[in-house]
Structure 1
Amino acid sequence: MERFGPLRTFLLGLRVLGSELAWLLILAMRRIEIKQMRKRLDEEYLLLGRLTRERPEGDEKRELARRQVDFLGEEIAMLRDDLDARRREWIDARVARWGLEEKACE
């Protein structure tokens, strides 16, 4: 029962803190990437609006801008979903690596 005494609990807390700081770094980098893609998506929306007004339907540049808007929207959604999945994996790996599953039930 003394496996989780005050010292071990304190050390585990430090490990969790370090792990969370590492996760925050990953999260910040991914958010920067998503923000840049969102900015690019906004630019493509503006271009598509201009091309829609100026060019006939079926125009090659207009169609390319529409496909780019679709692609960027899907990519942003995928990055957000991937971030959520990585967070779950990060926590599951930490719990398994530190052997916390069995001890938490005691």
Structure 2
Amino acid sequence: MNPQNAGVIADEERARIAALLIRYPDNTPEELAELTNWFDRVATPLDLGMLASNPDAAKQYRAYRAQHIDRFKFKDMTRAALFIGTVSAVIAGIGLLMP
């Protein structure tokens, strides 16, 4: 990507995502996949702030985030369980070493 037009491309992508969010939750599965990919891999904090402050898309942006981003996912629960299991094993191991 040419650094001179990076801002223009980012603006176009953000406008596309805003247009998709304005229609949320009435999006096709392909559009939802595009939104998910954009939020997971492309969006910067500036992008998120600009979407959140866009009066046309703010309500749907909050709804999308609540449903798809701010929820605990299976991956999050698995990581928490592994962390708790590891900490428990370390504590149990230390307890066995102490007289």
Q: TM-score range by the shorter chain?
A: 0.3 to 0.5
TM score, norm. by length of structure 1:
0.35
Please tell me whether Structure 1 or Structure 2 has the larger radius of gyration of its CA atoms. Answer: 1
